[in-house]
Amino acid sequence: MNNHDLIQYGKEYAKNSPLKFKHCALIVKGVDNNFRIVAKGHNSYIMDLLNHNHSVHAEVAVIEDFMDNHISMRFPRKKRVAMTKNLIKKNNYYMFVIRAGKHATSNPRYSKPCSKCQKKLKDWSFQEIYYTI
């Protein structure tokens, strides 16, 4: 899969988001336009115990998906997070964050990360994080 295919896939996957701004995040492994998607996530809502909606950003959703696919659920959450960070640090994982345009033919939109996501992603040691511009 090359960069163009990755962006196109991300645009389509972002459309699954129920939020107004449709973002998708992909964790990929590989180099030189030869990527393999290992996790994906889009922004969505979750409900808390009081039935309040909270948004989950694509960057957080993709890390959760990566952790679910690569680390056993039997471990406590804290250990799973540490194991995931170690796995990402030792390998060449990249993150792509893509915001879909309003129309199927439109280019991806600007997807600047929020301050909370920027803080969270500093700890994860991705090789690179790419946002659409």
CA angle 60, 31, 63 (to 5 degrees): 10
pLDDT value of residue 21: 84
For the stretch 60-102, pLDDT in tens is 999 999 999 999 999 999 999 999 999 998 888 999 998 886 6
Please count the structural domains in the chain. Answer: 1
Write out the residue range of the structural domain in which residue 75 sits. 3-131
Whichever domain contains 47, its CATH number is 3.40.140
Query: Which long-range contacts link 79-87 to residues 24+ away (Cβ below 8 Å)?
Result: 85/123, 85/124, 85/125
Report the predicted TM-score, pTM, of the whole model to 2 decimal places: 0.85
For the stretch 97-123, pLDDT in tens is 988 866 555 667 777 788 888 888 888
Tell me the pLDDT of the chain averaged across its residues.
Answer: 85
For the stretch 29-50, pLDDT in tens is 987 777 899 999 999 988 776 7
